[in-house]
């Protein structure tokens, strides 16, 4: 069965430090890959997506992610974290199939805390 | 432009009751998907509707049902509520059925007591 694993439940970084959030997926082919961010009490905001092509994708708010097929990974990175980045981050995969179907499978999330 | 809107924001129900949650997609979007997010977990897919037809269903019991109206808004109904149905219910809209560019609403927080 398809699955998404985010190994880190909680991560704490200092403001200005670099960040990497890990995501691994299990799927027979290359899925569509996404990172979403959720602030407390809010819905999900799309940070970036990978469908095909260049394996390093740029997103909003200074985030980037790299798709590594050999490792089935899609890790999210930011060179310098801001206090406002404190939130929960979800990795998700979309499974291409016919019929106008666009189900997303989400990981359990990584909660990011930022120390001043 | 208005984003995805959901109503109500919060509600509290008692076990055994029925609830209806509503979602209005972004103008021009024809596909609506529903997700359940239990505290501490990622969202789980419940339903997808496109052009008023069900295109996908997740692993949820028949107590969960949904529909999409001619104006592309959608309702999610849950019957015979259980304590375990307490969750944040998220609606997402997309332009086309097979589009993975999904935009999420703020959610409806359902508490079952």
Q: What is the pLDDT of residues B60-69, one digit of tens each?
A: 999 999 999 9
> Taking a C-beta distance cutoff of 8 angstroms, is the pair A4, A90 a contact?
no
> Taking a C-beta distance cutoff of 8 angstroms, is the pair A92, A36 a contact?
yes
Q: Does B70 touch chain A (CB under 8 A)?
A: no
Q: Does B90 touch chain A (CB under 8 A)?
A: yes
Mean pLDDT of B68-76: 97
CA distance A59 to A47: 5
Most distant pair of Cα atoms in chain A: their distance: 48
Helix (H, G, I), strand (E, B) or coil at A70: helix
Q: Which residues pair with B33 in a beta bridge?
A: B48, B92
Quote the minimal CA–CA distance from A104 to chain B in Å. Answer: 7
pLDDT at A98: 64
B4, B24, B39, B43: which to substitute to probe chain A, counting the most A Cβ within 10 Å? B43
The torsion region of residue A100 among left (phi > 0), alpha (psi -120 to 50) and beta comes to left
Q: In the structure, what pLDDT confidence band is assigned to residue A100 with cuts at 50, 70 and 90?
A: low
pLDDT digits (tens, 9 = 90+) for B5-52: 999 999 999 999 999 999 999 999 999 999 999 998 999 999 999 989
CA distance B66 to B8: 16
Asked if A46 and B94 come within 8 Å (Cβ–Cβ), the reply is no
Asked if A109 and B33 come within 8 Å (Cβ–Cβ), the reply is no
Higher-confidence residue of B47 and A27: namely: B47
A41, A104, A109, A110: which to substitute to probe chain B, counting the most B Cβ within 10 Å? A104
Quote the minimal CA–CA distance from A74 to chain B in Å. Answer: 17
B5, B10, B42, B93: which to substitute to probe chain A, counting the most A Cβ within 10 Å? B42
CA distance A66 to A17: 19
CB pairs under 8 A between A and B: 76
Asked if A103 and B41 come within 8 Å (Cβ–Cβ), the reply is no
Asked if B31 and A102 come within 8 Å (Cβ–Cβ), the reply is yes
Higher-confidence residue of A102 and A86: namely: A86
The angle formed by the CA atoms of residues B99, B100 and B101, to the nearest 5 degrees, is 90
């Amino acid at each position: 069965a398809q699955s998404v694993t985010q190994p880190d439940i909680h991560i704490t970084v200092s403001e200005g430090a670099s960040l990497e959030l890990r995501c691994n997926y299990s799927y027979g082919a290359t899925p569509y890959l996404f990172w979403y961010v959720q602030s407390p009490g809010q819905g999900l905001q799309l940070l970036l997506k990978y469908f095909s092509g260049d394996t390093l994708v740029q997103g909003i708010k200074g985030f980037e992610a790299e798709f590594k097929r050999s490792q089935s990974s899609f890790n999210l990175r930011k060179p310098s974290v801001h206090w406002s980045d404190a939130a929960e981050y979800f990795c998700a995969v979309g499974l291409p199939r016919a019929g106008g179907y666009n189900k997303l499978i989400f990981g359990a999330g990584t909660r990011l805390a930022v120390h001043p | 432009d208005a984003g995805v809107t959901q109503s109500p924001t919060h509600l509290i129900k008692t076990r055994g009751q029925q609830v209806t949650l509503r979602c209005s997609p972004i103008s021009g979007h024809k596909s609506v998907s529903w997700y359940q997010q239990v505290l501490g977990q990622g969202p789980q897919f419940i339903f997808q509707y496109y052009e008023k037809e069900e295109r996908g269903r997740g692993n949820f019991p028949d107590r969960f049902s949904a529909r999409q109206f001619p104006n592309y808004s959608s309702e999610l109904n849950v019957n015979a509520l259980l304590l375990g149905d307490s969750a944040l219910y998220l609606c997402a809209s997309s332009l086309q059925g097979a589009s993975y560019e999904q935009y999420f609403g703020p959610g409806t927080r359902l508490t079952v007591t």
